[in-house]
């Protein structure tokens, strides 16, 4: 019995020593951490000497996107050079002047790019291709972020290189009125939240008065405005829109006719001059990687206030 009691006392003593050791070790670690924090604070510069760096938007958005969300466009229309400020059409008077409406065309193929665009610290409008694999999803995401959604309606081009490659969802001048209407209605039904239209390609169709009359009538039926992308110098879209008494606007500048850094910077300066000379400047761009990087990193914060929704530039009947 005495041996058994002695063994129990030794066990209790060992347990007490073990507990005291753990407590001492924890206290030592806690004390050391406090000293380390004090040293960090003492080494840190005063608040007024610290430099604040704005985060890179692309780096912030990158973890949100997936590679499989990206499709490649098969082809695009060849766009004319950016219009210089001296060539822009004078706008009617507005209360808020010298602003820029940025429309991003060809949306619906690259959700990664769209998420980066919607994270920009200024206003954009998105125009979605009806047959794009993510057309509906892109419209829903843009609407959730408060961006205006447009239908980027594919139309007949005068470019011989692309005439044979247009698909069934393009509007053609040779269509009957019933087929023309069906193709338009089908396209519109694929994209929710649409409030306006602009043309994808369309250098031939926008020059055809009969087709434009049909298009503006359909736009009026659905309460939509029309923005002429001005892919042709012979476009009659503006005149027909005015005669049809629907709200309209038209492109002044293509930001990314070329995605070379120097060309992007030149087009942006043209847009700033365009806005200064007019009440508003309408600028079209596309979700190219180079364009995204330019919009994220090359627009000065002092110009953020210039960006307005496309609805703010419309000429109304």
Q: Which residue has the higher pLDDT, 204 or 1?
A: 204
Confidence of residue 303 (pLDDT cuts 50, 70, 90): very high
Are residue 146 and residue 294 in the same domain, yes or no? yes
Are residue 88 and residue 35 in the same domain, yes or no? no
Are residue 303 and residue 198 in the same domain, yes or no? yes
Report the distance separating Cα 221 and Cα 294, nearest Å.
38
83 within domain boundaries:
yes
Q: Write out the two tokens for 133.
A: 């694999």
7 within domain boundaries:
yes
Q: Which residue has the higher pLDDT, 177 or 67?
A: 177
Are residue 122 and residue 251 in the same domain, yes or no? yes
Q: Which three-class secondary structure string do you get for the chain?
A: CHHHHHHHHHHHHHHHHHHHHHHHHHHHHHHHHHHHHHHHHHHCCCHHHCCCCCCCHHHHHHHHCCHHHECCCCCCCCCCCCCCHHHCCCCCCCCCCCEEEEEEEEECCEHHHHHHHHCCCCCCEEEECCCCCCHHHHHHHHHHCCCEEEEEEEECCCCHHHHCCCCCCCECCCCCHHHHHHHHHHHHHCCCCEEEEEEEECCCHHHCHHHHHHHHHHHHHCCCEEEECCCCCCCCHHHHHHHCCCCEEECCEECCCCCCHHHHHHHHHHHHHHHHHCCEEEEEECCCHHHHHHHHHCCCHHHHHHEECHHHHCECC
65 within domain boundaries:
no
Per-residue pLDDT of 244-302, as tens digits, reads: 999 999 999 999 999 999 999 999 999 999 999 998 999 999 999 999 999 999 999 99
Number of domains the chain is built from: 2
Calculate the dihedral angle through the C-alpha atoms of 188, 190, 193, 197, rounding to the nearest 10 degrees: -40
Are residue 96 and residue 153 in the same domain, yes or no? yes
Are residue 18 and residue 149 in the same domain, yes or no? no
Report the distance separating Cα 24 and Cα 28, nearest Å.
6
Q: What value does the mean pLDDT take over residues 176-192?
A: 98
Poorest-pLDDT segment among 2-16, 42-56, 204-218: 42-56
Residue 185, pLDDT above cutoff 80: yes
Q: Which residue has the higher pLDDT, 211 or 22?
A: 211
pLDDT of residue 97: 75
pLDDT of residue 87: 42
Cα of 301 vs its chain's centroid, Å: 17
Are residue 45 and residue 135 in the same domain, yes or no? no
- Give me the percent of the chain exceeding a pLDDT of 70: 70
Domain that holds residue 38: 2-49
66 within domain boundaries:
no
Report the distance separating Cα 110 and Cα 141, nearest Å.
12
Q: What value does the mean pLDDT take over residues 95-105?
A: 87
pLDDT of residue 2: 53
Are residue 304 and residue 168 in the same domain, yes or no? yes
Per-residue pLDDT of 133-148, as tens digits, reads: 999 999 999 999 999 9
Residue 181, pLDDT above cutoff 70: yes
68 within domain boundaries:
no
CA distances from 101 to 20, 85, 193, 302, 307 (A): 70, 15, 19, 16, 6
Are residue 108 and residue 226 in the same domain, yes or no? yes
pLDDT of residue 49: 31
193: CATH: 3.20.20.370
Are residue 126 and residue 267 in the same domain, yes or no? yes
Per-residue pLDDT of 37-67, as tens digits, reads: 443 334 433 333 333 333 333 343 334 344 4
Are residue 169 and residue 33 in the same domain, yes or no? no
Confidence of residue 165 (pLDDT cuts 50, 70, 90): confident
- Give me the percent of the chain exceeding a pLDDT of 90: 65
59 within domain boundaries:
no
Q: Which residue has the higher pLDDT, 92 or 159?
A: 159
Report the distance separating Cα 23 and Cα 18, nearest Å.
9
Cβ neighbors of 291 (< 8 A, separation 6 or more) are 255, 256, 259, 264, 285
CA distances from 165 to 70, 159, 168, 253 (A): 22, 11, 10, 26
Q: What value does the mean pLDDT take over residues 232-236?
A: 94
Are residue 131 and residue 212 in the same domain, yes or no? yes
Residue 24, pLDDT above cutoff 70: no
Identify which of 259, 296, 257, 297 has the alpha carbon closest to the alpha carbon of residue 113.
296
54 within domain boundaries:
no
55 within domain boundaries:
no
């Amino acid at each position: 019995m005495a041996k058994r009691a002695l063994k129990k006392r030794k066990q209790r003593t060992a347990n007490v020593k073990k507990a005291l050791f753990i407590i001492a070790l924890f206290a030592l670690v806690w004390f050391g951490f406090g000293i380390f924090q004090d040293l960090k604070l003492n080494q840190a510069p005063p608040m007024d000497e610290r430099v604040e760096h704005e985060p890179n938007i692309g780096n912030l958005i990158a973890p949100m996107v997936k590679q499989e969300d990206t499709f490649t466009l098969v082809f695009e229309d060849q766009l004319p050079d950016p219009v210089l400020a001296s060539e822009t059409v004078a706008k009617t008077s507005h209360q808020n002047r010298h602003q820029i409406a940025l429309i991003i065309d060809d949306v619906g193929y690259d959700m990664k790019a769209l998420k980066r665009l919607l994270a920009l610290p200024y206003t954009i409008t998105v125009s979605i291709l009806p047959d794009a694999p993510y057309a509906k999803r892109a419209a829903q995401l843009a609407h959730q972020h408060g961006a205006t959604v447009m239908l980027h309606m594919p139309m007949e081009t005068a470019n011989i290189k692309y005439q044979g490659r247009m698909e069934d969802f393009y509007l053609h001048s040779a269509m009957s009125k019933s087929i023309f209407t069906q193709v338009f209605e089908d396209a519109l039904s694929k994209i929710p939240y649409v409030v306006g239209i602009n043309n994808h390609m369309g250098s031939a169709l926008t020059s055809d008065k009969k087709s434009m009359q049909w298009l503006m009538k359909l736009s009026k039926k659905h309460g939509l405005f029309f923005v002429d992308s001005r892919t042709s110098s012979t476009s009659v879209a503006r005149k027909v829109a005015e005669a049809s008494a629907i709200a309209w606007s038209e492109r002044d500048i293509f930001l990314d006719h070329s995605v070379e850094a120097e060309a992007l910077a030149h087009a942006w300066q043209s847009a700033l001059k365009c806005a200064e000379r007019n009440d508003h400047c309408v600028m079209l761009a596309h979700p190219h990687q180079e364009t995204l990087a330019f919009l994220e990193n090359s627009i000065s914060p002092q110009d953020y206030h210039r960006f307005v929704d496309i609805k703010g530039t419309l000429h109304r009947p």
